[in-house]
Amino acid sequence: MSNLNEKIDEDLKEKILKEEKDIPIIIMLSELNDANIQKLEELGVKNLDKLELIEGVSGIADSNLISKISKLDFVKEIHLDREKRPL
């Protein structure tokens, strides 16, 4: 986990360093297309869902996998999918 890159947000980095599993994430892509989604699926990202509005996908991944997918060229950013509540 030593080479966590700039694509990963700070809160997510903390979770990766703790080697957490099943982390909800949002992946921003250079292009939202079937080929890129399939690649993420093949690597093991679970519950993939398209987010057209931001050219991204949401899904669930373990720490190791997040580090791996952050190195993909078509992956622009990876963020923690944070919970929101009524105010």
Partner 1 sequence: MDLLETYVNLMKKYAIKANVRIILELNTEFIREQGTIRDISSLEAIDTMSPSILDASQVEFDKSLELINGLSVSLPVENFGYFSSRLSSADVQGYSMDAPLAPHLAKHRPLVKADLAEDLGYRGEGIKIAILDTGLDTKHPDLNVIYYANYSRASTDEDVDGHGTHVAGIAAGRGKTGKWGLGVAPKAKVIGIKVLPGYDSNIIRGMQKALEKGARIINMSLGGPGTPWDPLGKAIYNVYKKGVISIVAAGNSGPNYGTIESPACNPYAIAVAAVNYDLKITDYSSKGPSVDGEVKPDISAPGGDGRLMIISLRSKNMRNRTAFFYGDYYAKDCGTSMATPFVTGAAALVLEALKENGFSCDGEKLSDTIRYLLLSTTSKISANIWETGAGFLNVYNAVTKARKIDSPKKYEHPRPRPPIKPPKKCYRRGIASTDFLGALSTILKRYKLPSVPEEAENVILAVKKGAGLEALTLFSTLTSPYAIYRDLLVIKEIESKLPRSKSIIKSVKNAISHLAYLSKNSLISEGAEFEGTMWEV
Contact flag: residue 49 with partner 1 (CB under 8 A)? yes
Q: Give min distance, CB of 43 to partner 1, in A.
A: 19
**What gap in Å lies between CA 59 and CA 70, rounded to an integer?**
14
Binding mask 10-39 for partner 1 (x = CB under 8 A): -x------x-----x-x-x-----------
**What gap in Å lies between CA 87 and CA 82, rounded to an integer?**
15
Q: Are 70 and 4 in contact (CB under 8 A)?
A: yes
Closer CB to partner 1, residue 12 or residue 65? Answer: 12
Instruction: Considering only the stretches 37-45, 47-55, 62-70, report the one whose residues sit in contact with partner 1 under the rule CB under 8 A.
Output: 47-55
Neighbours of 11 (CB within 10 A): 11
